[in-house]
């Protein structure tokens, strides 16, 4: 009888139900935001300031915001301003183009100086363009002179391109 009781206790130890223990933890990561214009010229120069002369340069934009981004172009002086006579300006037309640039293709303006600085234009690429922008797209910026410089000496303007997340 003792032996039977011992076997009963031993078999009870083996049939005790096992309960699964669940545990968990999170895996997390962060993608840093990037919204930038790169490869734009530092300085370019017209060989002669005559109406119809043009220059162009490639640039790239990248923005990894899921809502897309806004590209703003700006002429600080509203034309190529004479270094010696600020009232003398050579006006130009600035245009952005490129097959990969999407919503920004055709963005541009014509300066109308002298007077009044900060000529700007902007274009918005929404969520539909976000995948292309996240990988980066290339464009071309072109400047065509609309008038001829009158006074001897240098003329200058600063062109800025800014990419801002939506």
Instruction: Fold for 34-165, please state it.
Output: Immunoglobulin-like (2.60.40)
| For the chain, domain boundaries | 34-165
Task: Determine the distance from the C-alpha atom of residue 126 to the mean position of all C-alpha atoms in its chain, rounded to a whole number.
Answer: 12
What pLDDT sits at residue 8?
52
pLDDT in tens, the chain (166 residues): 555 555 555 555 555 667 788 889 999 999 999 999 998 888 889 999 999 999 999 999 999 999 989 899 999 999 999 998 877 899 999 999 876 666 777 888 999 887 777 888 888 887 778 888 888 888 899 999 999 998 899 999 999 999 999 8
Nearest by Cα to 66 from 128, 14, 116: 128
**Contact between residue 90 and residue 79 where contact means Cβ atoms under 8 Å apart:** yes
Q: Quick check: pTM over 0.85?
A: no
What pLDDT sits at residue 22?
86
């Amino acid at each position: 009888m003792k032996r039977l009781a011992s076997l009963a206790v031993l078999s009870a130890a083996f049939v005790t139900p096992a309960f699964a223990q669940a545990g968990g933890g999170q895996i997390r990561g962060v993608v840093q935001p990037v919204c930038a214009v790169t490869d734009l010229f530092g300085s370019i120069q017209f060989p002669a300031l005559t109406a119809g002369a043009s220059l162009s340069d490639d640039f790239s934009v990248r923005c990894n915001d899921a809502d897309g981004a806004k590209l703003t172009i700006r002429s600080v002086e509203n034309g190529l301003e004479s270094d010696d006579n600020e009232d003398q300006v050579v006006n130009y037309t600035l245009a952005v183009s490129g097959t990969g640039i999407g919503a920004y293709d055709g963005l541009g303006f014509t300066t109308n100086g002298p007077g009044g600085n900060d000529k700007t234009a902007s274009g918005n690429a929404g969520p539909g363009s976000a995948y292309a922008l996240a990988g980066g797209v290339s464009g071309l910026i072109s400047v065509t002179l609309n008038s001829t410089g009158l006074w001897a000496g240098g003329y200058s303007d600063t062109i800025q391109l800014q990419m801002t997340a939506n």
